[in-house]
Amino acid sequence: MNPTMLTQVLRVAAPLLVNSTLPITTLSTKSIVNQARLLACASCQQQLQKRCSSNISKWHGLWEPTDLKTEPDIPEFESIHINMKGFDFPVLESYAKYVHKSVNTLFQLDSDAWPAPSKSTQVITFHPNSTAVNDKYDLQKYERTVVVEDVSTTTLPILLEFVRKNCPEGVEVFVKEPNPDEEEQRYVPDYEVIELQKEKEAIAAGKLRRK
C-alpha cells in the first residue's frame, strides 16, 4: 500500500475510535477493519489491525488506583529551639526579633520566642607577674530563644543557613531539640515565696518536735 492509500485508511478508522456517540461494542477491531477493508490491501490489513488494537487499549484500558499518594512523605521535627546568646543587649534583641519575624513571614512556620534571665560573669585582671588585682569587670550575658514547630527536613537546612548568614558579630547561636531541664531557666525565681516556704517548713518541723 502506498502512503496515500494508508492515509485514507487511517482517516476512515480514526472517526470510529473517537466517536463518543457510538456504543462501546461497535468500537471493536473487527468492525474497524471491516470499514477500512475496501480501501486496504491484504498486505496492510495486519498492520491496520495492530494499530487499531493499540488505540483501543490506550483509551479504554486505562485504570488508576485511588489510594496512591501523589506527594512523598517528608519527615518533620516537632520542635526546634534556636538559642541566641550575647553580651551586647541591643544587638541580641534586634537579631532575635528579626529571626522570629522571618520564621513567621518568610518561612511560614509557627514559632514562639521568649527571653531568659541574664547571667553575670566577673572578670578580674592582674598586674604582670603579680597577684595584685589590676581591674574588675562585671559582664552580663543575655539569652533569647526562638521555638520553631513542625519543621520539615527539607526546610531546616535552608532555615539554618539563613540564621547563620544573618548572625551579627558577638552573638552565639545554638540549634537543638527541646530539653525539659532547660525549660526551668525561663523563669526567674521568686525569693519571697522561697523564704515563706522555708519558714513554713521550719514551723512544721518545730511542731513535730514538740509532739
All three cell numbers of 177, joined, read: 531539640
Q: Are 92 and 181 members of one domain?
A: yes
pLDDT of residue 132: 87
Q: 171 and 88, same structural domain?
A: yes
Whether 129 is in a domain gets the answer yes
Count of C-beta atoms within a 10 Å radius of residue 209: 6
54 and 90 in a single domain? The answer is no
Reported as a pLDDT band with limits 50, 70 and 90, residue 141 is very high
Q: Do residues 95 and 21 both lie within one domain?
A: no
Q: Compare 15 and 130 and report the one with higher pLDDT.
A: 130
Residues 153 and 85 in one domain: yes
DSSP per-residue string spanning 138-179: EEEEEEEEEEEEEEETTTHHHHHHHHHHTPPTTEEEEEE---
- Taking alpha carbons only, the member of 145, 148, 155, 150 closest to residue 103 is 148
The HSE-up count of residue 31 (CA atoms within 13 Å, CB side) is 12
List the CATH number of the domain containing 110. Answer: 3.30.70.600
pLDDT tens by residue, 58-98: 555 677 777 777 777 888 888 999 999 999 999 999 999 99
Domain count of the fold of the chain: 2
Boundaries of domain holding 11: 3-59
pLDDT above 90 coverage of the chain, percent: 31
User: Distance between CA 36 and CA 17 in Å, rounded?
Assistant: 13
Phi first, then psi: give them for residue 136, nearest 5 degrees.
-130, 140
Residues 80 and 173 in one domain: yes
202 falls within a domain: no
State mean pLDDT over 44-70: 64
Q: State the pLDDT at residue 36.
A: 53
Rounded Cα distance between 169 and 106, Å, is 23
**Is residue 158 included in any domain, yes or no?**
yes
pLDDT tier at 18, thresholds 50, 70, 90: very low
- Which stretch of 21-25, 26-30, 138-142, 150-154 has the lowest confidence by average pLDDT? 21-25
- Segment 3-10 shows an average pLDDT of 58
pLDDT at 90: 94
In terms of domains, do 80 and 166 share one? yes
Q: What is the pLDDT of residue 167?
A: 94
CB 148 within 8 A of CB 80: yes
CA separation for the pair 88, 50 (Å, rounded): 80
Instruction: Let me know if residue 155 belongs to a domain.
Output: yes
Asked if pLDDT for residue 153 goes beyond 70, the answer is yes
Is residue 171's pLDDT more than 50? Answer: yes
156 domain residue, yes or no: yes
The confidence score (pLDDT) of residue 95 equals 96
Strand order in the sheet with 111-126: 111-126, 133-152, 76-86, 171-176
pLDDT of residue 161: 95
Q: Are residues 146 and 42 in the same domain?
A: no
Report the chain's terminal Cα–Cα distance, integer Å: 121
User: 155 pLDDT band (50/70/90 cuts)?
Assistant: very high
Residue 146 has a pLDDT of 94
C-beta separation of 123 from 137 below 8 A: yes
CA distance 116 to 188: 8
Count the Cβ atoms, other than its own, within 10 Å of residue 72.
5
**Do residues 140 and 171 both lie within one domain?**
yes
